[in-house]
Structure 1
Amino acid sequence: MHNPEENPWKITSESAIYDNPWINVTEYQVLNPAGNPGIYGKIHFKNLAIGVLPLDDELNTYLVGQYRFPLNQYSWEMPEGGGAFDATPLASAQRELLEETGLKANKWTEIQRMHLSNSVSDELSILYLAQHLEQFEPEPEETEQLVIKKLPFEELYQMVCSGLVTDSMTVAAVLKVKIMLMENMLF
């Protein structure tokens, strides 16, 4: 009997299609689970996806607004960015929070690890809750034209529920923190 957790795909050949400092794309010639020939494309991310949900002592949070080139639209989301594999995810989260909002946190909690698009990519996301915040000056990268918005966490939760916030890492972090608040797991 076949073990359902074993890989049923057989790779017959692979070809590098595209490569830049952030991603590479590989096309695989495969035998699919039914044994028939086919192709599969995979996007490999060269960094971790890091997201930080800041939450102050009065249950306010901070969103970052920016125009997202791949979506061709404006997006409100928690501070996010790439984390190098040779750095700790927490150090990357601390850098992103400071860069994008000017905030430093004295308490950090990893709240979620998740794959962002497991059908075409291997991108892994690590999400953090940042608490006991101190304000400094933001230090955005040259590719970032950011607007920072402070708002009550409950307002952000309503934005997620109504579909006004669509960034998957932000949605996951907000829902997780909402549960943590309801179960008195914070502070």
Structure 2
Amino acid sequence: MSQKPGWLRPHGRPWTRGAERLVYENPWIRVSHHEPTAPTGRPAQYGLVSFKNLAIAVVPLHDDGTVTLVGQHRFPLGDYSWELPEGGSPHGEDPLEGARRELAEETGLQAREWRRVLQMQLSNSVTDERAIGYLALGLSPSDGGYASDETEEIVLARVPFREALDAALAGHMEDVLTVAMLLRVYHMAREGALPDALTRAMLG
């Protein structure tokens, strides 16, 4: 990883945490009310959604330059979403193990090579959720096969990488992890960070 540029250093005073009250909790999230002091010195109120899992996203990139996508209905916005294989990895678990599990469960695939390519804060104004993205190469059917969660009705599509990227940039795939990860892998290809044959298959 490259050295952090000097202009990325913090400026000013941080938030000072004050009183905290639990509002709601379930196995996946914790919602709390806070009364902190802002960096300006002014008192504030803050509602914080804390996640009990690390978000995981995987780009399953096949040798022929295609990528496997997952389609499913999503509850919060009440729409249908095409996206990369994604899921949660409990805090304390090796995120790579979570990525392997999610890829197998949602697509029935396993990978010979894994690259950790991106880490993200998904909505840092109201949540503490963090995400890690992986590129999965050398794909083959997993030993355990496909086994989605009991609440998921998943459809798979294997499409050319460039077609998936164009769909994301056109707004047809709005999931932020999907958009960010497709752009990241595209950048890797353009910068020569992927095998030449794979880059030609992706971008040709």
TM-score (norm. length: structure 1): 0.94
1:138 paired residue number: 146
Native 8 Å contact 2:31 2:49 kept in 1: yes
- Report the counterpart of residue 21 of structure 1 in structure 2: 27
Aligned to 1:174: 182
How far off is 1:171 after superposition? 0.6
The aligned amino acid for 1:4 is H
User: Equivalent residue for 1:152?
Assistant: 160
| RMSD over equivalenced CA pairs, Å | 1.2
In structure 2, list runs of 5 or more residues that go unmatched.
1-9, 196-204
Runs of 4 or more above 4 Å deviation:
none
Q: How many residues align?
A: 184
Counterpart Cα distance in 1 of 2:43 and 2:192? 52
CA apart distance, 1:5: 5.2
Q: Distance in 2 between matches of 1:121 and 1:75?
A: 22
Q: Is the 8 A contact 2:12 2:39 kept in 1?
A: no
Deviation for aligned residue 1:25: 0.8
> 2:110 aligns to what?
104
Quick one: distance in 1 between partners of 2:12 and 2:179? 29
Whether contact under 8 Å (2:13, 2:39) holds in the other structure is: no
Structure 1 residues 5 and 110, CA gap change in structure 2 (3 angstroms): farther
Taking every aligned residue pair, what percent have the same amino acid on both sides? 45
Matched, 1:186 2:168: no
Shifted more, 101-110 versus 133-142: the winner is 133-142
Indicate the residue corresponding to 2:99 in structure 1: 93
Q: In the aligned structure 1, how far is the partner of 2:165 from the partner of 2:36?
A: 43
Mapped to 1, the partners of 2:61 and 2:17 lie a distance apart of 46
Matched with 1:84 is 90
More strand as a share of residues: 1
Q: CA–CA distance in 1 between the matches of 2:92 and 2:18?
A: 32
Aligned-partner Cα distance in 2 for 1:28–1:117: 17
* Correspondent of 2:11 among 4, 22, 31: 4
TM normalised by structure 2 equals: 0.87
Q: Secondary structure of the residue that 1:104 maps to in structure 2? A: strand
Stretches of structure 1 lacking an aligned partner (at least 5 in a row): none
Equivalent positions of 1:33-44 (< 5 A) are 33-44=39-50
Measured in 1, the distance between the counterparts of 2:55 and 2:66 equals 24
Mapped to 2, the partners of 1:166 and 1:179 lie a distance apart of 19
Change (3 A) 1:5 1:98: farther
